[in-house]
Amino acid sequence: MPGISELRLQNLILDMDDDGIATVTLNRAAKRNALNAETIEELISVFSALPAAGARAAILRAEGPHFCAGLDLVEHGQEQRSPAEFMRICLRWHEAFNKIEYGGVPVIAALKGAVVGGGLELASSVHIRVMDETTYFGLPEGQRGLFTGGGATIRVPRLIGQARMVDMMLTGRLYAGDEAVQVGLAQYRVKDSGAKAREIALRVAQNTPLSNFAICSAISHMQNMSGLDAAYAEAMVAGIVNTQEAAKDRLDSFSRGTAQKIKPQGAGA
């Protein structure tokens, strides 16, 4: 697998800073960051490489005023794909978004403008979604004579429930503002989603990498298991994570009474 310095990217920009925060930028603003086949392949390459590159967290952001306009409808129309060809395309989308969701590196999306169709499928694969005042969410597939193919049927109901998703697809209903947070499409709504995503990434990067790995892969895997199997897997993951060497200092510091307490900011002793 190529390292991050060997990746040749046309549609994404990848930057890794000294804090171990990777920034992945969708860089097709002229096409509203619509997802063509090449961009999907680049997402697979980048998110495959990040864990081995030692990324402690990643920010997924976009150039231009819109996060992502979904499937590249122009490419799709021109290619005249057969059912089997488009099925293969969808499997590559799943590969890309599974790398994000299951890769073990916390991914925080800085959202703005349109997060629609495949753009919402992409956004729903990250671990923390931050929206700004311009952000809106939609699933216009019904209006376009299409159906979701990038995992929305699995991920979007987890966020907002099946009934809301079906409503969005049938009626073209958009969610924005406070309502989008209330229904679960974003966890944070702020003026500057990029700045907030960075603040969150830096905070998340303070956790031990093994805890983050478990949080950002095990929980997703467990949603696919029976309750009994998930409980067993949870015990195994906890067996590994909760006995890790890297946590010893943190536990010692708690025993000595020097660890930060878990209280709301500004609360008294």
Q: CB–CB of 81/88 below 8 Å?
A: no
Distance CA 56, CA 116 (A): 28
Q: How far is the CB of 146 from ligand 1HE (least distance, A)?
A: 5
> How far is Cα of residue 256 from the mean position of the Cα atoms in its chain?
37
Quote the least distance from Cβ 66 to ligand 1HE, whole Å.
5
Applying CB under 6 A, the span of 8-16, 27-35, 201-209, 216-224 interacting with ligand 1HE comes to 27-35
Site string for ligand 1HE, 142-161 (x = CB under 6 A): --x-x-xxx-----------
The number of residues making up the chain comes to 269
Residues 6+ apart with CB under 8 A from 170: 142
State in angstroms the smallest separation of the CB of 179 from ligand 1HE. Answer: 19
Using the minimum distance from each CB to ligand 1HE, give the nearer residue, 73 or 210.
73
Question: Per CB under 6 A, does 185 bind ligand 1HE?
Answer: no
Q: Which is nearer to ligand 1HE, 104 or 149 (CB)?
A: 149
Directed axis angle between helix 152-160 and helix 162-171, to 10°? 120
Q: Which residues pair with 109 in a beta bridge?
A: 60, 129
As given in the structure block, the two tokens for residue 129 are 């979604």
CB of 24 to ligand 1HE, least distance (A): 19
Half-sphere exposure of 22 (CA within 13 A, CB side): 24
For tokens 């790995």, name the residue.
213
Nearer residue to ligand 1HE within complex by CB, 14 or 115: 115
Q: Which of 9, 11, 31, 129 lies at the binding interface for ligand 1HE (CB under 6 A)?
A: 31
Q: Which residues contact 243 (CB under 8 A, 6 or more apart)?
A: none
Among residues 42, 72, 101, 132, the one that binds ligand 1HE under rule CB under 6 A: 72
Residue among 88, 92, 10, 85 at smallest CA distance from 48: 92
**Of residues 110-129, which lie at the interface with ligand 1HE (CB under 6 A)?**
114, 116-118
Contacts with ligand 1HE, residue ranges (CB under 6 A): 31-32, 34, 66, 69-74, 90, 93, 114, 116-118, 140-141, 144, 146, 148-150
